[in-house]
Amino acid sequence: MALLYASGIGLLTAAGIWLMLRTRSFDAVLGLTLLSYAVNLFVFAMGRLHVAAAPLLRDPSLEPALANYADPLPQALVLTAIVISFGMTAVLLALAVRSRIDSGDDHVDGDAP
Amino acid sequence: MSLALAVALPFLAALLLFALPNRARNLTATVAGAATLLTLALLAVNLPAVLAGQVVSIDWAWLPFAGADFGFRADGLALVFALLVAAIGALVILYARYYLAVEDPIARFYAFFLTFMGAMLGLVLAGNLLLLAVFWELTSLASFLLIGYWQHRADARQGARMALLVTGAGGLCLLGGVLLLGSMAGSFDLDVVLASGAQIRAHPAYLPMLVLVLLGAFTKSAQFPLHFWLPHAMAAPTPVSAYLHSATMVKAGVFLLARLHPAIAGTDAWFYLVTGTGLATLLVGAWTAVWQHDLKGLLAWSTISHLGLITLLLGLDTPLASVAAVFHILNHATFKASLFMAAGIIDHECGTRDMRRINGLWKYMPVTTVLAIVAAAAMAGVPLLNGFLSKEMFFAETLQISSHPFMRLAVPIIATLAAGFSVAYSVRFIHDVFWNGKPHDLPRNPHEPPFWMMVPAGLLALLCLLVGVLPSTTVGALLAVAAGPVVGGPLPEYSLAIWHGLNLPLLMSALALAAGAAFYFSLQRIDRLHEHVHLPRGAKEVFDALLGAVLGGARFFTLKVVNGHLHRYLTFAVLATFVAVGLPWLGRGGFVPDVDAALPAPLAIVLWLLGCSGALGALVWHRQRFVATLFVGLTGLVVSLVFALLSAPDVALTQLLVEVASVLLAMLSLHFLPKLSPPEPGFARRAADAAIAGITGCGIGALAYAVLVRPPDASIAPWFLANAIPGAAGQNAVNVIIVDFRGLDTLGEVAVLGIAALLVALLLAQVTGAQAPSRRTADGGGGGDDSGAPATGDPRPLMLETVGPVLLPLAAVLAIWFFIRGHNDPGGGFIGGLTLALGMLVPFIGRGIDWVESRVRLQLQRWIGVGLAFATLSGIASFVVGHPFLTSHYFEGELPLLGKSSLASAMFFDLGVFVAVAGATLLALTTIGRMERR
């Protein structure tokens, strides 16, 4: 399970970085999106992987400890990170559109070298 | 308290002066003068106590954890120095009123001047080493402003910059030295430091500390070879020079040596470093001064020489030498200030300072001549003037060196030699300026200056004479009390008398006087002094070369790194991250094998395959943007399923909703971007990128694996789990963390999202319809085509148009339901807000933006503001009941329809989040759609 999860993160990272290094703004945004998936999965992994142990404390007989529930802290961090990365994607897309309109080109440096 | 006021007053007056108009010359001078006299009075109040041997001090806690107090402390040395600073400051203020031209901004001058004076007073009165270092830097900054006062002159700007760089660098050294010193003494408090001399000298870090402190002191007091900034600083107006060279700035350096003398002196390292530097400075300064044709240049080099003398005395490290050093500090301040004022008068009335042109002035300005003769004679060490007394003591002390054979011989000889040069340049100052023929080709007709311009110089010259004739009555008591803290013990026996009998020091004085005068006249007559051009070389060239190298290096680096290509920045960022993450791994053990070696569940394998194929698909088909976007969306959906499987329902819901919004946004922006990425030339570059991406991906994957196969460390997570119900009445631990425990973080994050949405709106709002490329010809220089499905002209999607009216209320209900249950079940403000935004998007897509906006004005910007305000207010409400920001309260009760609910005040906070997130998301999504309409 760990190998599967970790290799997935690695693959998403590699694909994200390669796309991010392209010269067109839209490709770079897609790359960044893939990279942020990888980063979110990575941060999430810091709480380790738990199946069927959502941190919903419904059963009073169950002691509220990490033995019985998944770690809620990385989940809270990732949740807000997802929302923030949406904001970032939106800004980058708007920048890409604006840059295209202003310069007539969608090269990330504003104009082709 | 009067000490703190005395330091604060000049700064306050400076603030007032900044507000005054520059044409109010008398008003500004009066304000500056009155503030200085008041400061002087505030200082003098403490004189009786200090003369009685007390130390006056006042302390406030400033940064207690760092051992830094904000306190002032006046012992004899500090108070006498402060009185000197304020008294000469008052005289210079009077002088400057007449010196400065009408076109000079006088209010600014006085404001800078008083800032400088306040900094200097703070420096000498500081009761704490850290505070001293702060004021030390402040004097460097203020002197920069003063030296560069004539901003239009290039030499003033360069001189100011050089002074700032040299003394500022010295200040950094001093800070380092002071930090070391404080850690050695166990406190930064000056009383403690001065009392722990033995402990400091025995410390292994004594030598580095000493070198750092001395670098600070030597740069400030212009000691060889760091002296070169001082002659360039004379580009300042002459009143500034008079002040910098006499009572302040350069004296700050020797003050520091005297101040810390009991704590750090008394070792061979001190003796050789300080005495050696002083000796070299004394000789180089005196020799160079003889050859200067510029009146101020002569005085500047003479200042360097005299500071070398004082440094040398402090280096000798005998009690009597310390007394002599303090005495010479006072004497030098009086005669050097007077001489600079005289030089300023001459410059002012003749229009030049070139001694080859100004000759025979005594016929034109006899009063100034007399004043200058008195002060210059004091500088030369002529009997009956104050300079003679301290120089006599200096000679006597050079003869007392016993243990260092070489220095024993070298110091008295070089001292006599330098004294001879000192006589030579003093005689030159008098003879060359006031006699030696007639003035030729002067820009102005020389005459006596205004009366009040001569008064300050006259008072100082009078003081030279009084001290010289009646030393023990005039300064005896002050000198004793000022020298006490430098000696650090009982004062030695000494008598301040003119006549000590026929002895070796007197002989040395006589020799220097005779030889110096003879040397000057032979230079003038035989060697034609005026034809020599003696420009001291070396130090400044090294400084300029160093500065050039630093600037050139920075420019080269900047141009190489910041070359305007995103590709390079990102490559640097990725590689730097890789190195930073990889370095700690070097030398560590290998991997622990997978703890659960069992085969993963089939579902996990399917998800892995789907997610990876999404990423690979985006990679392979990245040039076809719609396709690539869909592939990325596929991966995003898989990620959300992974979260759902791995016990994170809240994260999964958020990811799902954000994924939908992101894909929609990407699709919308593709209307204004080429649908195809042009093929990139250069296989090598793509291969290099692939290598970087591959190795980084492997690294991150390995890191994740290494974490996953290890048991978790002790974490703060159990606390959140244990306190979710008792502390915040919420069963959903994730939501409790977001809205309660870490509510402040969430507030910040929602604010960021709101700002991002506003930024999107702003970026795209200014685009007019004419500028926006038509969607049908959405092809610029990118080389793409319009192979994507054109949207304009399409009939509105029938399904959405039909279902929309039903979907919107459903979505709204779902959003509210998510929001309300959030505290106990998956949901909450973020998820609710995103659901509402997406639901509201349906009519925009189904009916078009005009249809929606003709029926309802949404004003989404306000949603963001209202939501943020609501969240903040709910946090502030905690203050009302006396709790910190964002403390949660809750009560339980039956709600209609929803059953038993516990209503926490965090819910109001979450409501703010809900509204702001909905507004921000919808704003970002609709802005791009809005562009199409124009």
Least Cα distance to B858 among B924, B929, B919, B932 occurs for B919
Nearest beta carbon to residue B760 from set A42, A55, A91: A91
Left, alpha or beta for B890 (phi > 0: left; psi -120 to 50: alpha)? beta
Nearest beta carbon to residue B753 from set A1, A70, A83: A83
Report the distance separating Cα B633 and Cα B630, nearest Å: 5
Contacts of B642 in chain A (CB under 8 A): 41
Contacts of B700 in chain A (CB under 8 A): 9-10, 13, 38, 42
- A10 and B697 in contact by Cβ < 8 A? yes
Q: Which of A9, A11, A44 to mutate to test the interface with B (most CBs of B within 10 A)?
A: A11
Averaged pLDDT for residues B656-676? 89
Whether the pLDDT of residue B417 is over 70: the answer is yes
Contacts of A84 in chain B (CB under 8 A): 749, 752-753
Question: Nearest CA to CA, how far is B669 from chain A (Å)?
Answer: 7
Question: Nearest CA to CA, how far is B609 from chain A (Å)?
Answer: 9
Single pTM value for the model: 0.70
Quote the mean pLDDT of chain B. Answer: 86
- A75 and B673 in contact by Cβ < 8 A? no
Residue B861 pLDDT level (bands cut at 50, 70, 90): confident
In chain A, positions 36-75, which contact chain B (CB-CB < 8 Å)? 37-38, 40-42, 44-58, 64-66, 69-73, 75
Per-residue model confidence as pLDDT tens digits over B355-403: 888 888 888 899 999 999 999 999 998 888 999 999 989 998 888 887 7
Contacts of A90 in chain B (CB under 8 A): 665, 756-757, 760, 924
Sketch the domain layout of chain A as residue ranges. 2-51+69-103
Report the distance separating Cα A28 and Cα A93, nearest Å: 10
Nearest beta carbon to residue A47 from set B717, B722, B920: B717
Nearest beta carbon to residue B616 from set A15, A46, A73: A15
Residue B589 pLDDT level (bands cut at 50, 70, 90): low
What SS3 class is residue B45?
coil
Per-residue model confidence as pLDDT tens digits over B66-120: 777 888 999 999 999 999 999 999 999 999 999 998 888 999 999 999 999 999 9
Per-residue model confidence as pLDDT tens digits over B762-817: 888 777 554 555 444 444 433 333 444 444 455 567 777 777 778 888 888 999 88
Report the distance separating Cα B615 and Cα A31, nearest Å: 9
Least Cα distance to B618 among A39, A106, A15, A35 occurs for A15
| Rounded to 5°, angle at Cα B491 from B475 and B482 | 40
How many other β-carbons are positioned within 10 Å of the β-carbon of residue B455? 15
What SS3 class is residue B914?
helix
- B651 and A73 in contact by Cβ < 8 A? no
Whether the pLDDT of residue B52 is over 50: the answer is yes
Nearest beta carbon to residue A14 from set B673, B694, B759: B694
The pLDDT of residue B557: 87
The pLDDT of residue B780: 40
Counting one residue from A and one from B, how many pairs have CB atoms under 8 Å apart? 331
Contact yes or no for B639/A37 (Cβ under 8 A): yes
Whether the pLDDT of residue A40 is over 60: the answer is yes
Find the residue in A nearest to B688 (Cα).
Answer: A18
Q: Pick the residue with more confidence: B647 or B211?
A: B211
Left, alpha or beta for B846 (phi > 0: left; psi -120 to 50: alpha)? alpha
- B647 and A18 in contact by Cβ < 8 A? no
Report the distance separating Cα B584 and Cα B891, nearest Å: 50
3-state secondary structure B800-836: HHHHHHHHHHHHHHHHHHHHHHCCCCCCCHHHHHHHH
Contacts of B608 in chain A (CB under 8 A): 4, 7-8
Contacts of A41 in chain B (CB under 8 A): 639, 642, 704
Question: Nearest CA to CA, how far is B682 from chain A (Å)?
Answer: 12
- B724 and A80 in contact by Cβ < 8 A? no
Least Cα distance to A80 among A29, A43, A47 occurs for A43
Contacts of A79 in chain B (CB under 8 A): 650-651, 654, 734, 738, 830
In chain A, positions 4-43, which contact chain B (CB-CB < 8 Å)? 4-30, 33-34, 37-38, 40-42
Contact yes or no for B74/B125 (Cβ under 8 A): yes
Whether the pLDDT of residue A77 is over 80: the answer is yes
User: Residues B693, B698, B699, B705: is their CA dihedral positive or negative?
Assistant: positive
CA-based Rg of chain A, rounded to a whole angstrom? 19
Contacts of A107 in chain B (CB under 8 A): 782
Report the distance separating Cα B774 and Cα A100, nearest Å: 12
Question: Nearest CA to CA, how far is A68 from chain B (Å)?
Answer: 10
- B752 and A96 in contact by Cβ < 8 A? no
Question: Nearest CA to CA, how far is A61 from chain B (Å)?
Answer: 13
The pLDDT of residue A111: 64
Q: What percent of chain B has pLDDT over 90?
A: 47
Whether the pLDDT of residue B611 is over 70: the answer is yes
- A11 and B689 in contact by Cβ < 8 A? no
Question: Nearest CA to CA, how far is A62 from chain B (Å)?
Answer: 11
